[in-house]
Structure 1
Amino acid sequence: MAFRFLHTADWQIGKPFANIAGDSGAELRSQRIKTVESIAQIANERAVDAILVAGDAFDSNEVSDRTIVRTIEALAPFSGSWIFLPGNHDAALAHSVWTRMHAMGLPSNIVIADKPEPIDRWNGRATVLPAPLRRRRESLDQTEWFDQAPSSDGSCRIGLAHGSVANRLPGNADSSNEIPEDRAERAGLCYLALGDWHGALKIAPRTWYSGAPEPDRHKANDAGSIFIVDIDRPRAPERVETLNVGRYYWIRIDIELIDGTCERALQALEGLSNEYRTCVVFLNLTGAISLAERRRLELELKKWEARVHHLEIDDSGLIDEPTPDDLDALDNTGFVRLAVERLRLRASDPGDPESSAARMALRMMYLDHFAKGA
């Protein structure tokens, strides 16, 4: 019997975005709940049987009651079954966001899958096997019970888990809460719905990460989507449709300035999507730049800070290399020129412990010079 569901994970509602101050951070926090409402509306339009949330719906167990209530309100457009799995950020502790939700009195269509037991709310068409995390890091495989879990004859067996698939994720991925790569096959699953990896990814046969619907990292890992999954009958190949729902684009730009100008950095920014206001940009600058171009760069970046949603700049690897014109602009002769030359030499010596301070001194002298109207 056919079964259609929506697979999502890693909402991390309540994420503080501590490094993004003011309105920009507040808008990122509020967008997460708006995106959940969009997911509910899509589920209703696509007539899915259930929405499976594979962990980390909340950023922590300490989110405010207000955040919990706003999230529950956002679920309203979809009256079908919501199955929430506790993840590592919102583990099913004795006192957690889930116990607080229970105390608030939940609608009957919202299920907190905080126990490892089969869930069948679809008249035998599907059985969801959850592997809730009861602490941030579990030492034992929480999906092992899937292999022997009972289900109705003809039921689509769907696993729901949060963690890292063994031997499959990149080497720098978090390897806690490990899940065997062949769990779907061993447990006779039609589909294993996973959370924890924030990008959309088929990681093993019948085993998928939906990724985070709202990106929150500068990684090129296909975040920002949800899956609509169709299973026509038990053991039939799954059909997965990816829908992009994220509003904000998290973009990392790495630029090496090699000709003394800032042109390459400005061209890279101009190449961003036209939706500048929804771009969260990390700009990493390396190489060398003249003082005149450094001044131009700082003026242009101030404009970009106002255009994009948020701009973070790391120019610690960008070295000031004053040109003869830069030095002439400060002074042609005498003590000032001698001081500038000494600072230039120190600034260009990577072995000098004061090279960073020397670069800053040169820059400040130059900017101060133009600030006085020279």
Structure 2
Amino acid sequence: MTHFLHTADWQIGRQYGQFETDDAAMLAEARFEVVARIAALAAERRVDAVLVAGDVFDTQGVSDRTVRRLFAAMAAYAGPWVMIAGNHDAALADSVWSRAMQLDCIPPNVHVPLGTGVVDLPAINLAVLAAPLTQRHTYEDVTQAFDALDTEPGRIRVGLAHGSVAGRLPDNIDATNPIAPDRAARARLDYLALGDWHGCLSIDERTWYAGTPEQDRFRGNEPGYVLDVRIEAPGAAPAVERLATGRYRWSAWSETLSLPTDAQALAERMAALRAEDVLRLDVQGHVNMETWDALQQAVDRAAAQVRALLPDLSGLKLEPDDTDLAELRASGYVGAVAAHLQALQADAAQSAVAGEALRLLLRFQRESAMPGGAK
């Protein structure tokens, strides 16, 4: 039996510019940490090899230190690794891979083929048919060469590639780097290990995307896994097990509020979030001042307890209720200004500014009415 881990899309060096600096740094660090977890899993499970199906690095321009840290993170597993270039780290003449070789930081147990061919591992009866990308985008199926590649009789034949299986991915993505959906059958592969799609996905029993082992975007396509693959003999169906590796859980919530109870329910959901959560929150609808204040406090509390929170409340309109309006009637002029600001919220170009001005006005009037308030 041949036993290996299949992983892909590590995206080492990825930047998270939409987040606060501290959060972005922690999310970037998590990508090194998951590689260390994969190495530890490989050692614990005593696999014969680890196959990495491209996009090891997020860009060609990662620092030398980042390159060295990546290979250091793999140290817990001393068996063979086979990793290929993807579209983000294509094996150009001058690439992150050529730099890694110049830095002499690729360990001897790590195989990095820079062209299509066979990495033969006779000690574990495995032949890896590798198709690294040598440019970011191609419109030819680089795995077509697998059909004609010969391997030693009796070897387990495993393809390793990075691209899009034509017509089989659930969302519309770029048509570049195509891969034939029946490549495993055409090339007599026992298994085809793919990268590029960031979710864990089976195309057929012999063709799998491992997905990224650490979620990195707001898409619920089952990221955060590596695949444990066992093949008893050439021609046997592979036994594939998903192993959870991700630390952070990314979620995108889109909420529409019309009643105070809606805001209360949302606050309760946010209260259940934990340190491993990364949340993008889009809130629309209309609320009174009291509900707005309560919701803002709930958002602030959630931001303190999760890894990262990206709230967008720009679609939430302030509609003063009777209590709010009673406070404004203390001054005819103030009431007129409030009515004008409320009307301006309907203008998309002025909505955010008008809403914030109305909230400040209501808050000022409320504080002015309190004992010891503003005079």
Q: TM tier, shorter chain?
A: over 0.9
Q: Which amino acid aligns with 1:99?
A: S
Paired residues for 1:1-374 under 5 Å: 2-105=1-104, 106-123=106-123, 125-260=125-260, 262-272=263-273, 276-347=274-345, 349=346, 353-370=349-366
State the percentage of identical aligned residues. 40
Indicate the RMSD between aligned Cα atoms, in angstroms. Answer: 1.7
| Post-superposition offset of 1:9 | 0.5
Q: How many Å separate the matches in 2 of 1:203 and 1:329?
A: 62
Q: How many Å separate the matches in 2 of 1:171 and 1:243?
A: 24
| Post-superposition offset of 1:211 | 0.8
Q: What 5-or-longer segments of structure 2 have no aligned partner?
A: none
| Post-superposition offset of 1:141 | 0.9
Q: How many Å separate the matches in 2 of 1:355 and 1:241?
A: 50
The one-character-per-residue Cα deviations of 1:5-61 (angstroms, maximum 9, x if unpaired) are 100001101111111222211111112111111111110111111100000111111
User: Structure 1 residues 22 and 353 mapped into 2: Cα distance closer, same or farther (>3 Å)?
Assistant: closer
Asked if the contact 2:197/2:211 (under 8 Å) is kept, the reply is yes
DSSP 3-state at the match of 1:193: strand
Q: Which region of structure 1 is more displaced relative to structure 2, 364-373 or 47-56?
A: 364-373
| Post-superposition offset of 1:313 | 0.8
| Post-superposition offset of 1:270 | 2.7
Q: Which amino acid aligns with 1:354?
A: Q
Asked if the contact 1:124/1:154 (under 8 Å) is kept, the reply is no
| Post-superposition offset of 1:260 | 4.4
Q: Which region of structure 1 is more displaced relative to structure 2, 155-164 or 261-270?
A: 261-270
| Post-superposition offset of 1:206 | 1.0
DSSP 3-state at the match of 1:128: strand
Q: Which region of structure 1 is more displaced relative to structure 2, 51-60 or 320-329?
A: 320-329
Q: How many Å separate the matches in 1 of 2:32 and 2:364?
A: 46
Q: Which region of structure 1 is more displaced relative to structure 2, 181-190 or 292-301?
A: 292-301
| Post-superposition offset of 1:258 | 2.1
Q: Which region of structure 1 is more displaced relative to structure 2, 355-364 or 179-188?
A: 355-364
User: Structure 1 residues 58 and 325 mapped into 2: Cα distance closer, same or farther (>3 Å)?
Assistant: same
| Post-superposition offset of 1:297 | 1.4
User: Structure 1 residues 203 and 316 mapped into 2: Cα distance closer, same or farther (>3 Å)?
Assistant: farther
Q: How many Å separate the matches in 2 of 1:356 and 1:29?
A: 32
Asked if the contact 2:252/2:280 (under 8 Å) is kept, the reply is yes
Q: Which region of structure 1 is more displaced relative to structure 2, 67-76 or 333-342?
A: 333-342
Q: What 5-or-longer segments of structure 1 have no aligned partner?
A: none
The one-character-per-residue Cα deviations of 1:201-235 (angstroms, maximum 9, x if unpaired) are 10234110101111011111111110110000111
The one-character-per-residue Cα deviations of 1:81-104 (angstroms, maximum 9, x if unpaired) are 111110011110111111111112
DSSP 3-state at the match of 1:17: coil
User: Structure 1 residues 64 and 369 mapped into 2: Cα distance closer, same or farther (>3 Å)?
Assistant: farther
Asked if the contact 1:253/1:268 (under 8 Å) is kept, the reply is no
